[in-house]
Amino acid sequence: MENAAWSWISIIAADLDTVKALLSRFPESGREVDRAGATTLRRLKLHRAPFFVWNSFDPGRGAGVVELYRLFHSRQETPQPHL
């Protein structure tokens, strides 16, 4: 049982690395769920782990500046972050 938990942690970590690489090249990836001016709030599902990353992108802050807000399990009830 303990090894299964650790294997999930390594999968989540690898998925987060993938998301980081994706967002560094394509900062507007993911589903747009809110917008305030040029700033967008987006939600992106991790590749293998059942989690979503909430992030924002403001092109006025410079190319590739993405802020990660939250990481939630896909079945978790989550309030939408505010921009």
DSSP string over 27-71: TT-SEEEEEETTEEEEEEE-SSSSEEEEEEE-GGG-TT-EEEEEE
Q: Return d(Cα 22, Cα 55) in angstroms, integer.
A: 12
Is a pLDDT exceeding 70 seen at residue 15?
Answer: yes
Region 34-51: mean pLDDT is: 94
Instruction: Decide which of 62 and 7 is more confident.
Output: 7
Q: What pTM value is reported for the model? A: 0.83
